[in-house]
Amino acid sequence: MSGKIITILGIDDERDILDIYQDMFTRDDVVVLTTRSFEEFKKIFESRDIDIVLTDHNMGSFTSRDVIAFIKSSSKPNTLTYLCSGAPPMDLFSDTVKDPSKPIDFDFFMKQVAEMRNSLK
């Protein structure tokens, strides 16, 4: 293990996606926390040192807008946040989403998260 331990908090209403986060990122220098609940997300976010948040967009009773608004109004407004969604809100993210019809490109996703992690070291 070398350097800072990175903590990733994933929030999604689909358990399978959260399991993928666990499988993809769990290693010696990464701690992965996951939740399906916005209330639990807020508790974890406020009580832990979170470096990166991975959020789905539409999670039923709440959305990524709620997650981002909470982060921005918290004591840690500059926490790195990554939207991971099969149905992104085009009006909010149209400049950053090139083709939402494509399946997840895990290589690209891993590269982006690695770059986010490296910016924290």
Q: Could you read off the pLDDT of 88-103 as tens digits, one per residue? A: 555 555 444 444 444 4
pTM: 0.75
Q: Which CATH class is domain 6-120?
A: alpha beta
DSSP classification of residue 96: T
Sorted by where each begins, the domain ranges of the chain are 6-120
Q: How far, in Å, CA of 28 to CA of 5, rounded?
A: 8
pLDDT band at 110 (very low <50, low <70, confident <90, very high): confident
Question: Is the Cβ–Cβ distance between 19 and 61 less than 8 Å?
Answer: no
DSSP per-residue letters across 57-88: SB-SS-BHHHHHHHHHHSS-TT-EEEE--SS-
Indicate whether 40 pLDDT > 80: yes
